[in-house]
Amino acid sequence: MADNSIRTDLFSPIKLGEIELANRIVMAPLTRGRTNEEGVPNDLNVTYYVQRTSAGLIISEATNISAQGRGYAMTPGIWTEDQVAGWKKITDAIHAVGGKIVMQLWHVGRCSHVDLQPNRDAPVAPSAIKADGNVYTNNGIAEASMPRALRTEEIPDIIEQYRHAAECAKRAGFDGVEIHSANNYLLEQFLRDSTNHRTDQYGGSIENRARLILEVVEAVTGVWGGGRVGIRLSPVTTEVGNTPLDSDVMATYGYLIQQLNKFKLAYLHFVEGTTQKNRDVPKNVDLEALRSLFDGAYIGNNNYDLELAISRRAEGKIDAVAFGRPFIANPDLVERLRYGLELAEATYDTHYGNGAKGYTDWPKANS
Ligand SMILES: Cc1cc2nc3c(=O)[nH]c(=O)nc-3n(C[C@H](O)[C@H](O)[C@H](O)COP(=O)(O)O)c2cc1C
């Protein structure tokens, strides 16, 4: 049988900050819509994550940091004690079989619907600009609601939501957290001038638009230390909400990444290209140049296959690779990649909801 570990060190250990991984293959965060209304993880979720423990690191599905941060039905949370207890079962089970898992901390900002918000309030955002896209409510797919702009005096509460969630994640036994600053959710809405039209200290200049992200990083690293905190960015994606790019991607993300260096984070994680769709990058953007501004480890993601991962690793362009969709239908993805075994493919209808079907019923290779 072929053994691809002869060709690449992707199957060898690496340390991301203080997190030791058995290999450089990471499971990308995947929302699967299999939790309950209260956002409490269940036994089916335990089974799902344990099945995928051969990943050097699992990044959890995006997890709501507060009731206000929620934009999709049946997604998990990390602000109540019941949620902490539910996640603890998952982290214990993963650690019992030698795996590692960090939690992705999520506030959707404008990508929500009044049906999902406390008191049917409007979702919050940097500015009152509606997302051009859909969210999942209990009544099915619906257009994102018109958001309201956060008042300046409400910003400390947003930072507190992240800090509290980071603390809850620590008590839930995670190996660290990933700050979800990608895919045009709240933090990226603040960063881009397409979604941030504020005139206070959180809008206008690049420094001002990056301020909330940096204050959140400061709060979260205050709980965890930098070596157990990663961050996900997606400089050139228009997903979700059909969101225009920043008018100066290189200057804006370049400034942010340079500022992140002072926190000595475990890793920087990029969605390279348009999330799920393609790896295209506009002519005036150089993702390699942005990545090289970061002092720590780098995880590349988006439409990778093994050959692309091997070549980019060989060129020193990535330290680790994150696979998303391939982990849905291939719980033993690392073994399949290592030994060149055939990969199963998950169709879109298995992605969200639907209980065990298309979730925990994918067999291992040859079983
Ligand atoms: C079903 C599904 C759910 C996803 N959920 C998340 C999520 O919770 N957080 C996130 O940052 N990205 C999420 N993504 C994006 C993936 O992490 C990843 O960036 C994308 O699928 C591209 O990687 P791939 O080509 O290896 O699938 C999701 C993608 C899919 C297909």
pLDDT in tens, 41-80: 999 999 999 999 999 999 999 999 999 999 999 999 999 9
Q: Identify the residue whose C-alpha is closest to ligand 1 atom 6.
A: 30
Find the mean pLDDT for residues 140-163: 97
Give residue 321's pLDDT band: very low, low, confident or very high (50, 70, 90): very high
Cis before 124? omega within 30: no
Pocket test for ligand 1, best of 238, 276, 304 (most atoms within 8 A of CB): 276
How many angstroms separate the alpha carbon of residue 185 from the centre of ligand 1? 13
User: Could you write out the DSSP letters of every residue in 216-244?
Assistant: HHHHHHHHH-GGGEEEEE-TT--TTTTPP
Q: Which ligand 1 atom is the nearest neighbour of the CA of 180? A: 11
Q: Identify the residue whose C-alpha is closest to ligand 1 atom 10.
A: 29
How many angstroms separate the alpha carbon of residue 274 from the centre of ligand 1? 11
In the chain, % of residues over pLDDT 70: 100
Per-residue pLDDT tens digits for 215-265: 999 999 999 999 999 999 999 999 999 999 999 999 999 999 999 999 999
Q: Identify the residue whose C-alpha is closest to ligand 1 atom 30.
A: 30
Q: Domain 4-350's class?
A: alpha beta
Phi-psi region of 117 (alpha: psi -120 to 50; beta: other; left: phi over 0): beta
Is the pLDDT assigned to residue 367 strictly greater than 70? no
How many angstroms separate the alpha carbon of residue 325 from the centre of ligand 1? 7
Q: Which ligand 1 atom is the nearest neighbour of the CA of 301? A: 23
Find the mean pLDDT for residues 201-224: 98
**Secondary structure letter of residue 159 according to DSSP:** H
In the chain, % of residues over pLDDT 90: 98
Is the pLDDT assigned to residue 109 strictly greater than 70? yes
How many angstroms separate the alpha carbon of residue 339 from the centre of ligand 1? 25
Q: Which ligand 1 atom is the nearest neighbour of the CA of 61? A: 8
Contacts (Cβ under 8 Å, ≥6 apart) of 282: 236, 245, 249
**The two structure tokens encoding residue 134:** 């859909």
Q: Identify the residue whose C-alpha is closest to ligand 1 atom 29.
A: 30
How many angstroms separate the alpha carbon of residue 107 from the centre of ligand 1? 16
Closest by CA position to 221, among listed 271, 162, 181: 162
Contacts (Cβ under 8 Å, ≥6 apart) of 8: 309, 310, 313, 314
Q: Identify the residue whose C-alpha is closest to ligand 1 atom 12.
A: 29
Find the mean pLDDT for residues 119-128: 98
CA 115 to mean position of chain CA atoms: 24
What pTM did the predictor assign?
Answer: 0.98
User: Could you write out the DSSP letters of every residue in 114-131?
Assistant: GGGSGGGPPPEESSS---
Is the pLDDT assigned to residue 1 strictly greater than 90? no
pLDDT of residue 106: 98
pLDDT of residue 43: 98
Which residues are known catalytic residues?
A: 185
| Matching residue, tokens 């293959």 | 25
